[in-house]
Amino acid sequence: MSATVSLSKSEKSYIRTALGELSPIRADGRSLLDYRSIALETGVASLANGSARVNIGKTAGEESGSGTEVIAAVKLEVEGVLEGEGVDGGRLMCTVSCSPAAYPHLSSAALDDLSYDMTIILNQCLSHPSLHPKNLVIIPKRRSWLLTLDVIVLSDSGNVYDALFLAARSALCDTKVPKTRSVQYQPKSNALGEQDVEMSAEAPASIFSTKEVKSTADFELADYWDEGEPLDINQEWPVCVTLNLLSAKSLPTYFLDATSQEEAAIPLRLLLLFSFSPSGTRLQSMRLMGDGEIQLESMTQLLESGENHARKLFQALKNKLQEEDFRRNQKALARFDLR
């Protein structure tokens, strides 16, 4: 993965030396395991079923454009299992697109490659069967929801993968699946008695319309004006922790939440994706990026510490999401009062 900023040799060595010292100091004064502050807001796209915006590292002030910013949004669409592309039980699909404004120096081909790389990482992790929500079914074997998660990278000043997954998790947790109710046409007489109503795909008796003969069993939205129910595996959506490795030594020093300059100065990054659920902690996915190598023994150690950091991040995110829910409820109530 190519660096998105260019640095001189002496800048790289300045960063690496500073990180490698006994009491490491980073360019912005953080210690190795400090995150920059993360701003988060849910419900940012009104036409989506769930959405979130995340910014890592924005400096306060009108004129600072700094920070890595991404928007994620979930949309649900109905798919036919028999006639469409749908799969029984529903599908989950993720895409990432990088805005050219985030990488103003990349050519459009390079930008497409980058978007593609990010899409693969996000999609492989989130569309894995172990993370499949059960409530994407509308009518078993007939209709299901297609869940698409689209993420846009608006600006990148480092640590974009952590931001991607923070936004993805927040958008998925924010997603509400509309409540549906199956409806079925019941023939008045038993003229079609021999036929199995459930299977009578071609039954001419439907009074719905001649176009809709296929769906003798259809669904309607339960008429709550309430938005629906959350995805049933809300807590399990993974968080990503990127361990930036300073060297490939047997006991590698690592640091968290790298800036783009730091990313350009180091040889290796290890992406770890953890899912925390009541049933236990799972490592959902991992990826080593860069042109270096690490020794197998150090992996166990990195995994262990990665899990620790991920758990802290997960907990902080969970609290923030609850806070956001509260804020939005208050806002909705306030608006209701106005009327």
Whether residue 42 contacts residue 170, with contact meaning beta carbons closer than 8 Å, is answered with: yes
Q: What is the 3-state secondary structure (H, E, C) of 102-153?
A: CCCCCCHHHHHHHHHHHHHHHHHHHCCHHHCCHHHEEECCCEEEEEEEEEEE
Find the shortest distance in angstroms from Cβ 304 to other proteins.
17
Whether residue 89 contacts residue 142, with contact meaning beta carbons closer than 8 Å, is answered with: no
Query: Of 108 and 189, which CB lies nearer to other proteins in the complex structure?
Result: 108
**Nearest CA to 141 among 193, 192, 201?**
201
Find the shortest distance in angstroms from Cβ 188 to other proteins.
30
Q: Which two tokens stand for residue 110?
A: 């390079």
| Residue 209 binding other proteins, by CB under 8 A | no
| Residue 75 binding other proteins, by CB under 8 A | yes
14-43 binders of other proteins (CB under 8 A): 14-15, 17-18, 21, 23, 25-31, 33-41
Please identify which residue in 88, 99, 248, 307 interacts with other proteins, judged by CB under 8 A.
99
Please identify which residue in 2, 8, 189, 279 interacts with other proteins, judged by CB under 8 A.
8
Dihedral of CA atoms 251, 248, 312, 279 in degrees, nearest 10, equals -90
Query: Of 15 and 258, which CB lies nearer to other proteins in the complex structure?
Result: 15
Query: Of 195 and 305, which CB lies nearer to other proteins in the complex structure?
Result: 305
Whether residue 15 contacts residue 265, with contact meaning beta carbons closer than 8 Å, is answered with: yes
226-265 binders of other proteins (CB under 8 A): 261
d(CA 20, CA 249): 12
Find the shortest distance in angstroms from Cβ 35 to other proteins.
5
Stretch that binds other proteins, among 66-74, 191-199, 208-216, 284-292 (CB under 8 A): 66-74
